[in-house]
Amino acid sequence: MMKKLGFIGAGNMAEALARGLVENKVFKASELIASDVDPARRRKFKSALKIEVTTDNLEVLNSSRAVLFAVKPQTIDAVLTELARAGGKSSVPTKGAQRPRTNALAPKLFVSIAAGVTLGRLEGALGGRARVIRVMPNAPAMVGQGMAALVRGRNATRADEAFALKLFRAVGDAVALEDEALLDAVTALSGSGPAYVYLFAKSLADAAVAQGLPADLALRMALKTIRGAEKNMRHSPMAAAELIRIVASPGGTTEAALKQLGADGFSDIVARAIHAAAERSRELGRTS
């Protein structure tokens, strides 16, 4: 029986996605399969998630309706070459003759989360008819709070897009974009963004420690403050500027802090950081 989804690569992101799919009853564990070169990763999938595992990428290819590439960008070329070679060897003997050779990859949907690996590169390696979707997820998917953006290739259908959205909404939220170039901005914002929040939380806690708070209490309060502000901002009908105004009473402590942030160019610092990350993403896409 064909699996609904096969993972090539069983690292942390693949594990998070597989867990979300099973726990949210999108798929049964028996409908998934994963390959990986690392025995420890295979054991994790098999023991904790009850998902069938293998060392053979071609077994995943041949037994799955859709294949998700969850390998590092520097190793994906070897995987693509292996699959492309197998796809070309699909002639079927019949009554002493052979049917015309067809590409066995064409009926498959391929979903890639390999950072910086473009649709053109994926489609070029897998053949002109390959149905490909490129996704940029982020680390909070590992706790069910991910944010992913995806773009479908020229042969992928709206149904393929809906399938991919269903996958990544099992571990958070996901949106579809029309322009692949926007994935550089997505990478800079949500892909790299968790690190900015970690740095901001650490900076808040460190500054509070310098004011006399114990370190564990400072971090606890910083994280709860960020979480509460995020929830309030997400659910409030008010714009961010209005929410800021409500907290920043004239002549008060918040106003003093905001004036200092403005004087130090806080918004410009954030803008430059996002620009730097987006530019690096573009560079990686050109050189990959």
Task: Check residue 250 and give its pLDDT.
Answer: 95
| Three-state DSSP class for residue 7 | strand
Q: For residue 210, what pLDDT band results from cuts at 50, 70 and 90?
A: very high
Domain ranges of the chain: 5-181, 193-286
State the residue for tokens 């714009």: 239
**Correct CATH for 193-286 of 3.40.50.2300, 1.10.3730.10, 1.20.5.440, 1.10.10.60:** 1.10.3730.10
Task: Check residue 103 and give its pLDDT.
Answer: 57
In the chain, pLDDT over 90 holds for what percent of residues?
85
Selection from 202, 247, 240, 196 nearest residue 222 by Cα: 202
Q: For residue 94, what pLDDT band results from cuts at 50, 70 and 90?
A: very low
In eight-state DSSP terms, residue 143 is G
What is d(CA 98, CA 125) in angstroms, rounded to the nearest whole number? 25
> Which amino acid type is present at position 28?
K
Q: Is the pTM of this model over 0.85?
A: yes
Element (H, E) at 122: helix 119-126
Distance between the two ends of the chain, CA-based, in angstroms?
Answer: 36
Q: How do residues 59-92 score in pLDDT, each as one tens digit?
A: 999 999 999 999 999 899 999 999 998 876 543 3
**Correct CATH for 5-181 of 3.90.1300.10, 3.30.70.2500, 3.40.50.720, 3.40.50.1970:** 3.40.50.720
Task: Check residue 27 and give its pLDDT.
Answer: 97
Please, what's the largest Cα pairwise distance for the chain? Answer: 91
How, if at all, do strands 52-54 and 66-69 pair?
unpaired
Task: Check residue 117 and give its pLDDT.
Answer: 93
Task: Check residue 127 and give its pLDDT.
Answer: 85
Domains 5-181 and 193-286 share a fold: no
Structural contact between residues 133 and 110, judged by C-beta atoms closer than 8 angstroms:
yes
Q: How do residues 15-64 score in pLDDT, each as one tens digit?
A: 999 999 999 999 999 999 999 999 999 999 999 999 999 999 999 999 99
Task: Check residue 98 and give its pLDDT.
Answer: 44
Q: For residue 152, what pLDDT band results from cuts at 50, 70 and 90?
A: very high
